[in-house]
Amino acid sequence: MDGSIFIPLRLSLQVALAATVLVVLIGTLMSFILARKTFRGKELLDILLTLPLVLPPTVVGYYLILFMGRNGLLGKYLFHWTGWSIMFTWYAAVLASFIVALPLMIKTTRAAFESVDQNLIKVSYTLGRGELKTFFKVILPLSKKGMIAGAVLSFARAMGEFGATLMVAGNIPGKTATMPIAIYTSASSGDWAKANGMVLFFTLVSAAFLYIANRLSKRGAW
């Protein structure tokens, strides 16, 4: 087995972990807002946040280029002020993975928040705890299983991201060629031996993560 299959694997893990951290943080915040607050445009926000789940990854990639490309709606200001563009960097891969995985986290976490017994929350308020404290001490602990499931799904989705990633991060071996992309290149160039090695490894690593996640969500701890 060629030692260099570890480079795409390392990149995939790096990108997926970074994306999952962002997904958990922002996903939890968004889920809280959607579960506990009402405001005008809430439906629209919900749809916008869910869209990447149903849109093909190439459409997501397209929008990312539209916004974040060097000539993009936002990207051009970023380039103008800093001389830096996110395109063709591993940050772009993180961004792509983040966007496609976020809906998964929000769906599961929001459901978990909404299923917390309202009475418990009310009791917390009557006992003098504010909204934020209640969130951290009552809602969050009771939603742990749903949140872990969301995080695992997000991580898996981030590891497997290909279409949007290829469009914004490109195929740069060692820098942005994550494992799905490296497998694609190996298969495209007829290097089946290398592709086989990577596919096997990827499958085993993903299965291992799923196993760990299942154990975690079953009892909340090892």
CB of 54 to other proteins, least distance (A): 22
Nearest CB to other proteins, comparing residues 79 and 155? 79
CB of 185 to other proteins, least distance (A): 6
Nearest CB to other proteins, comparing residues 105 and 195? 195
Nearest CB to other proteins, comparing residues 41 and 190? 190
CB of 88 to other proteins, least distance (A): 5
Residues 6 or more apart in contact with residue 155 via CB below 8 angstroms: 16, 17, 20, 101, 209
Instruction: Give the residue among 150, 161, 188, 149 at the shortest CA–CA distance from 13.
Output: 161
Question: Would you say 169 and 176 are in contact if contact means Cβ atoms under 8 Å apart?
Answer: yes
CB of 51 to other proteins, least distance (A): 24
Residues 6 or more apart in contact with residue 181 via CB below 8 angstroms: 8, 162, 165, 166, 171
Nearest CB to other proteins, comparing residues 66 and 207? 66
Question: Would you say 100 and 163 are in contact if contact means Cβ atoms under 8 Å apart?
Answer: no
* Interacting residues with other proteins (CB under 8 A): 69-71, 85, 87-88, 166, 170-173, 185, 187-191
